[in-house]
Structure 1
Amino acid sequence: MTHIRLVYNSGYQWVKKEDVYVKGFIFTPDNQLLRAEQLADYFSNISSFHVFQERLQQANGLFSVVVKKGNILWAAVDTTRSFPLFYYHKQDSFFITDNPDTLKEYQIPLVVDEDNAILFAYSGFVNGAKTLLKEVYQIIAGQSLCYENDCVTKEFHKEFLTETFSMKTREELKAELKQVLDHVGKRMVKVLNNRPVAIPLSGGFDSRLIAYLLRKNNYPNVICYTFGKNNNPEQNNAQRTTHNLGYPFYFINYENYFNQSFTQDPIFKEYVNFATNYCNRFAEQDYFAIRELMKNDTLPENTVFIPGDSGAIAGHLLDEKMEKSEFSFAEQAFNEVFSLVYPRQKEVEIIRKEIHFLDKQSDNYPPYLIYENWRFQGTTALAFNSSKIWAFWGFEHLLPLWDRDLFDFFVHVPFQHKYDKNLYKETLIDLFNEFNIYFPGEELYPSTDLIKKVSFRSKLKSKFPFLKKFVHIWKNDHIGNQYFAKGFLQELKASKERRTLLSFNGISSAWYLMQVRKTVQNEKNN
């Protein structure tokens, strides 16, 4: 027996037509925009899981879908996993939901999986299809699922993997990228349909590209905002960008919130519940900015948020040394991803078992591409989890820099043009000069000295892990996380948590894990 429970309807809403449930929107290969009932029609009248896969492979957008055909069920999420789906399978019953808490309605006990809790404590997310709960799983980004004859089959309809790479010259690749970005901008404007836009604008290139594409398409009614400590490095570039593009700019000074206790605020706790779903750390950075903009009536109800997530597909995760045969991607993953707490030997063994495959040789794909694909299916989903902040307040969002055409372009770009986002950055500079939003002095690539320092520190920490205890967490804290962490740390101290936490993300992850344990224990006691 199959059970479908889809309850989150803040921002994008679920639409049900007969036995098809859809959320979000897509563009078809002939550039038709489909949402709501039209999107449900796209996934109707499908004869097999194979045909379902074909439809998914042709869809370009943000979406999740569940199709029920008698006792057969198909489900899928897009490559951003913007609308997560979870499932539980036991004793001839299959449950699918967008909120694992709904499983309690069917008397299914929620039990913390301790090995998965270790993965979460170190990284802020749970790897692959796992969650913090035993026997409760998630559909991975770009994956589809089939439940039939009491068996679950899973396949990827989209991955960041290829066996063929472009043979074009660098100038030809730059020209192609400009054309792809032009199409991305036009699709973005079509989805917006004249609704007001809010851009969380940093000082970097990705969110600036969003602002550029809107200005290039003469899109009206755009505001940009930045937040953090006053006079932080992001603020200056963001303000110059909006001035040159002619967009209103808002700066939310987080110093006004430094003395506020919010960890017991019912609204904040509700947001944490909404955003995490037992698998990802919550994103807190935009929380106060949205509340401030809403309080001042800056945001019309139909505002659409468009962040710069994620220029990662352009090569953000790669650097030049990764092409060397002796490079260890498993070691890279351990040092860069599983780095939120000071390591304990038994826990390290559990983590290394999860990532050892990254150093296995593949007959089909280069190691760096396997590493990127793994990051996109796991840690990038954590980045996209930040979109929950806007959905929580009832707003829709777009992720144009994860457009399928852009995704397909960069998966085929050779390594030498992709590491450190070098092709992407140079192309964007050409575009930005049109509106004078590339500012002299911005460093295009990391300096040689910086690369040497980072490499040296990384080797030291790898060889002498105890050095991690001396990391200055707040050295480059432009947001004010040091002050927001106070409430988390006070509660962790009261609970007698004894871990050396190496970053703000480590602190917030430990705090959330503590909340999960309390929730599960309370359920058990009741």
Structure 2
Amino acid sequence: MSLVSPILTRRQWRSHSISDSTTLWVVGDESCDDQLVRILAREGGLVEGLRTVTGHYAALVLTDHEVTLIEDPIRSFPLFYSVDGGVVAVSDDALALGRTGADYAADYDSRIEFRHSAYAAGPNTLYAGVSQVQAGEVVSVSRSGDVTGVFHRRVEYSGLHITDTTAVDKHFTAALDATMSRLLAHANGRQLVIPLSGGLDSRLLSVYLKDAGYENVVNFTYGTGRTSEVLISEKVAAALGQKWLFCPYVEEEIRSSWDTAETADFIKFTHAGASLPHVQDWFAVRWLKEQGLVDDDAIFLPGHTIVGNMHDEEILDDPNVSREQIKDLILHHHYTLQPDNGAVYKNARLLNTIEAFLDEIGYDGSVESRLTALEYWNVRERQTKYINNSVRNYEFFGYAWALPMLDREVYLAWGDLHPNITRNRDWYEGYVNRRYASATGQDLLTFAPSNVSKGKRDAVKAVLRSVGLLSLAERTITARAVQNHPMGFNWFINGMGSAQLYKFTRSGGNLLGAYADEFLTDTWNSQCRIFTDANTPSGS
């Protein structure tokens, strides 16, 4: 078995000689280099050492006998490996290892998962024989082809159980201060660009920069018009005294820009071997670039965060919760993109992946174990492979990015809080609103898709549920909303007309499911060929 030289396509990789027989390669924050060098220079304790590293990175350690691939806790820069035909190969690009086009070798289990979730779970990718390193994982591949893996960071609860609001505010603020101060020192005056929605996460970043006195800030928002979310974003930026830009989404411009060779390259780059490309702010970032509205060395700060990854919080109140119940919650929360999701619920490999995950975290039915299972699966799978993978968009257009609310201190601080705090976003909403009011002297509600109170909505739902019409009513409302999506997401569909898309969503399908089907069949963009012969007409 031979170890071939790593196939590294990113220009930002940096190498460090640790010894005559050991070389370290690092990509990401340059501050991570010294931390990793020190860890490798001392004997033993690699996993323990990695738990102390701050910043976002991926790393390779090459020796005469093996290659070790290291992902930070959020898989900031994807890594892949294959063991095939007596050759061990590693790369930062799945396309460098997988067979594509007319020779595409499919991982059919992954394709089934992908249709229903927009990503491939565990170490699997869309390419047979190609594996990905998971978030927070260390994978070693020996010259003989043996593969071992261990996780150095996961969502865990420390047992501190901080619950008092004042104490929680103080603890979370201290963690955010640590990550943001590091970011601001690194930025050193460079322009910071925030995709400002009407919600909490991006608002907290804008507020923090205001409080810190950082002036070179640009907020941007996008959509089909001056919707309520757009208006809230504009008000937030104005109250903070920060620059705000609005990118109008126009159907003709979206469709003509999407079906281009440039976008074909975008799809190939951003899918990262296992993920549906995140198109939400693709057009807006492209617009900012083309119009020269942000600096070339700007750093984008999306509001991705460790906060709020819990779902089905009522499960925490049940006296007993079995593994099967947790497994069902994971399946019915994450694998829902098609009108009929039965195939994925019967996928043996996925079921085994979830079982192995529950074994790994030592699921024991306790409240904290339930929290860990649901939050950590969300963080490691959907957040890492779909939401956080959206940073590939910024990279594609040549911009840097940072995720301070997913860096070490904030990640760990979340695990110090009481489950009554982390089970939902109630405390967090209050925290962001308190900081916003303090910074601006104003109160401003967050964007909500409906102006009807929760109490009234629940009452109507109860009536509809009692006569068996709730599911149909919800699907009909969703289908109508998709037809007039405030961000024009329906315009990214090529293979369905308006009536077909309405039928698809009214039957329980999700826009991401439609995207996934077109992506997997190379019909999302007529010039993108990943899984089919380049000489075959699109859609054939």
Per the normalisation by structure 2, the TM-score is 0.83
Amino acid across the alignment from 1:161: E
Distance 2:107 2:302 in 1: 33
Q: Which residue of 1 aligns with 2:150?
A: 155
Q: Secondary structure at the match of 1:95?
A: strand
Distance 2:133 2:172 in 1: 31
Deviations 1:342-383 (A, max 9, x none): 125444311772576488952775212111111111001110
Q: Which residue of 2 aligns with 1:377?
A: 380
Residue 318 of structure 2 is aligned to residue 318 of structure 1: no
Distance 1:281 1:229 in 2: 23
Amino acid across the alignment from 1:232: T
The answer on whether the counterparts of 1:240 and 1:437 sit within 8 Å (CA) in structure 2 is no
Number of corresponding residues: 505
1:184 deviates by: 2.6
Distance 1:383 1:447, change over 3 A: same
1:292 deviates by: 1.3
Distance 1:460 1:187 in 2: 56
Distance 2:47 2:227 in 1: 46
Residue 201 of structure 2 is aligned to residue 206 of structure 1: yes
| Structure 1: gaps (5+ residues) | 27-32
Q: Which residue of 1 aligns with 2:489?
A: 481
The answer on whether the counterparts of 1:177 and 1:427 sit within 8 Å (CA) in structure 2 is no
Deviations 1:279-337 (A, max 9, x none): 00101111111121122211211011001012xx2234235412132663333323321
Range moving further from structure 2, 408-417 or 270-279: 408-417
Distance 1:53 1:109 in 2: 38
Distance 1:446 1:261, change over 3 A: same
Percent identical pairs in the alignment equals 18
Deviations 1:54-113 (A, max 9, x none): 33111011100001011221111111112000111135432111112212699x964111
Distance 1:153 1:346 in 2: 30
Q: Which residue of 1 aligns with 2:397?
A: 393
Distance 1:394 1:344, change over 3 A: closer
Select which of 349, 362, 369 maps to 2:364: 362
Residue 435 of structure 2 is aligned to residue 431 of structure 1: yes
1:23 deviates by: 0.6
Distance 2:206 2:489 in 1: 26
The answer on whether the counterparts of 1:7 and 1:98 sit within 8 Å (CA) in structure 2 is yes
Range moving further from structure 2, 466-475 or 423-432: 466-475
Q: Which residue of 1 aligns with 2:267?
A: 272
Distance 1:238 1:246 in 2: 12
Q: Secondary structure at the match of 2:347?
A: helix
1:340 deviates by: 0.8
1:267 deviates by: 0.5
Distance 1:142 1:221 in 2: 33
The answer on whether the counterparts of 1:233 and 1:478 sit within 8 Å (CA) in structure 2 is no
The answer on whether the counterparts of 1:20 and 1:43 sit within 8 Å (CA) in structure 2 is no
Amino acid across the alignment from 2:481: K
Q: Which residue of 1 aligns with 2:297?
A: 302
Ranges of 4+ aligned residues in structure 1 off by more than 6 Å: 443-446, 452-461, 463-469
Q: Secondary structure at the match of 1:231?
A: coil
Q: Which residue of 1 aligns with 2:74?
A: 80
Distance 1:443 1:292, change over 3 A: closer
Deviations 1:156-198 (A, max 9, x none): 0000023624255332222222222222321221121221111
Amino acid across the alignment from 2:487: I
Range moving further from structure 2, 184-193 or 57-66: 184-193
The answer on whether the counterparts of 1:488 and 1:508 sit within 8 Å (CA) in structure 2 is no
Distance 1:104 1:353, change over 3 A: closer
Q: Secondary structure at the match of 1:75?
A: strand
Q: Which residue of 1 aligns with 2:87?
A: 93
The answer on whether the counterparts of 1:468 and 1:502 sit within 8 Å (CA) in structure 2 is no
Amino acid across the alignment from 2:243: P
Q: Which residue of 2 aligns with 1:29?
A: none
User: Matches of residues 35-50 of structure 1 in structure 2 within 5 Å?
Assistant: 35=33, 38=34, 41-42=37-38, 44-45=40-41, 47=43, 50=44
Q: Secondary structure at the match of 2:184?
A: helix
Residue 249 of structure 2 is aligned to residue 250 of structure 1: no
Distance 2:302 2:441 in 1: 18
Amino acid across the alignment from 1:14: W
Distance 1:227 1:306, change over 3 A: same
| Structure 2: gaps (5+ residues) | 18-22
The answer on whether the counterparts of 2:309 and 2:375 sit within 8 Å (CA) in structure 1 is no
Q: Which residue of 2 aligns with 1:30?
A: none
User: Matches of residues 168-187 of structure 1 in structure 2 within 5 Å?
Assistant: 169-187=164-182
Distance 2:220 2:174 in 1: 28
Amino acid across the alignment from 1:98: D
Q: Secondary structure at the match of 1:236?
A: helix
1:482 deviates by: 2.0
Q: Secondary structure at the match of 1:509?
A: helix
